[in-house]
Amino acid sequence: MHNRILSLPLAGPHSIFLIGARGTGKSTWIEKQIPERLLIDLQDYETYMYLLADPNRLEGLITPNFTGWIVIEEIQRLPNLLEEVDRLITQKRYRFLLTASSRHSLRKKSGTLLVGKALIYHMHPLIIQEIEQEFHLKRVLRDGLLPAVADPEMKEGYFTNYIRDYINGEVIQAGLTRNISGFTRFLERASGAQGSVINVSELARELGLNRLMVARYYDLLEDLLLGVKITPFTHNSQRKIIAHNKFYFFDTGIYNALRSMGPLKQEGEMVGAALLTLFLQSARAINDYYSLGYTIHFWQTFAGLEIPFVLHSPRGLHAFALTTSTIATYKTGKALRAFKKDYPHAITHILHTGTQRDKQDDHNIIPIVDALKELPLLLDTSRPF
């Protein structure tokens, strides 16, 4: 079992939402941290049907004057239960830990209920700090960092089952789309645009789908926690900047699994996209677990200059260029030099797959594995911007 960095205020009075994609380890973490708990698992058919018939039955499942944690797994399966949870928190002072692997059905309910009563935390795939010597770059770029696949004895077919379960368990059962064939084709094709600027119109033409439907599918992937949109960095921009978002699937293993189902792509392109994905999923986890407060963007000009990741917060401004090369060349830093000219206070980094560690035009040149290990320190700066 891995030692996860996630820390929740379990000694406090507030209830908690723990949100994370399927397979990120929410249940395992809870089992380890809260061995004495009342568990209500909505993935259990009998429990689900019992509460679906009457959410008010929830109180009857709780021992009177219970003071421990009440864990409800997969609360998104029964969003109406949140009204009863809200009532029990208010009237009985119960503490709930609610897990969810989708935000779609919770948006309206959680927006009006549990305000000031429940804190929100996120669980991500594993990061290098949690697996240490088990981290092997080539394998991670291929298989990702979901706990089940971090095991060298990973079961064959894991990703096929994972994607099938998401489609069956979250999309079909929740009735999120009637066109399952179109959504499945969209999944495959979207993986080919990993880390690229989203072009909804072009993708809609390729798939023979309505443009609004494709835009909705991208929103749905975010709601299902399968992917994330990255917005352009336009703060006090002195250049003409690409204004559309980029999209990434949340884990390198999921990206590669979907990519292998879609149209052929050069291996080098897939490795490059996987490297970007690995950095992004690590940065998102570190940002959340250490409460660093960064927003994550990209910077791309109409002149062709591109920086895949710009992290901005009151702590500072960081720009990261990544290359699959084992060395950092002068050309690699071209976009960073332009960015540094526009934002002199920015801290700029070139991450590569070799062992070279150096300075180039005030850029930090760091091997990607070292950068991932040191990311909490790299980002925990206090330079004003």
- For residue 384, the model assigns a pLDDT of 40
When pLDDT is cut at 50, 70 and 90, the band that residue 135 belongs to is: very high
CA-CA-CA-CA dihedral for 372, 374, 375, 380, to nearest 10:
180
User: 138-147, 169-178, 204-213: lowest mean pLDDT where?
Assistant: 169-178
Q: Which CATH number fits domain 15-122: 3.40.50.300, 3.30.465.10, 3.40.50.2000, 3.40.190.10?
A: 3.40.50.300
* Euclidean distance between CA atoms 184 and 166, whole angstroms: 11
Long-range contacts of 189-193 (CB under 8 A, 24+ apart): 189/262, 189/263, 190/217, 190/218, 190/221, 190/227, 190/247, 190/249, 190/258, 191/249, 191/255, 191/258, 191/259, 191/261, 191/262, 192/259, 192/262, 192/263, 192/265, 193/247
- For residue 165, the model assigns a pLDDT of 82
Report domain extents, the chain: 15-122, 128-229+247-265
Residue 317 reports pLDDT greater than 70? yes
Contact yes or no for 37/47 (Cβ under 8 A): no
Q: What is the mean pLDDT of the chain?
A: 89
By CB atoms closer than 10 A (0-12, 13-18, 19+), residue 139 is middle
What average pLDDT does the segment 101-126 reach? 80
* Euclidean distance between CA atoms 145 and 143, whole angstroms: 7
What average pLDDT does the segment 3-30 reach? 95
Pairing of strands 95-100, 15-19: parallel
Pair of tokens at residue 154: 């990973």
What average pLDDT does the segment 301-309 reach? 95
What average pLDDT does the segment 106-120 reach? 71
Supply φ then ψ for residue 18, to 5 degrees.
-115, 110
